[in-house]
Amino acid sequence: AQSVAQPEDQVNVAEGNPLTVKCTYSVSGNPYLFWYVQYPNRGLQFLLKYITGDNLVKGSYGFEAEFNKSQTSFHLKKPSALVSDSALYFCAVSPTGNTPLVFGKGTRLSVIA
């Protein structure tokens, strides 16, 4: 069965520093990978996705993610964190097209001024 692990419940980073939010997955076949962000009491907002092609995917708000097949990882990165990036981040995977996503438990990012 497919699964997603976000090993860190909380990530703290100083404003202006680079940030990384980790995600590893387990799925048979070629995965479809997604990152979403959630602000308090709001729905999830789509950030980026990997379907095929370049391993480095660029998304909204300056975020990017690197797909690493050998390490089964899809870490979210940003070169310079903003206080407004503070939110809950979810990684999700689908093993095939048009099947429901499986979500990780989320990582809370706190960017400190």
Is 9 a residue that touches another protein (CB under 8 A)?
yes
Considering only residues 43, 53, 54, 70, which one is a binding residue for another protein as defined by CB under 8 A?
Answer: 43
Considering only residues 25, 36, 63, 74, which one is a binding residue for another protein as defined by CB under 8 A?
Answer: 36
Q: Which residues are paired to 56 by β-bridges?
A: 66
Contact residues for 107 (Cβ-Cβ < 8 A; gap 6+) = 6, 8, 9, 10, 11, 21, 22, 88, 89, 90
Considering only residues 12, 14, 17, 51, which one is a binding residue for another protein as defined by CB under 8 A?
Answer: 51
Is 46 a residue that touches another protein (CB under 8 A)?
yes
Burial class of residue 101 in the structure, from the number of CB atoms within 10 Å of its CB (0-12 exposed, 13-18 middle, 19+ buried): middle
Residues lying near another protein in the complex (CB under 8 A) are found at 9, 32, 34, 36, 41-46, 49, 51, 90, 94, 96-101, 103-106
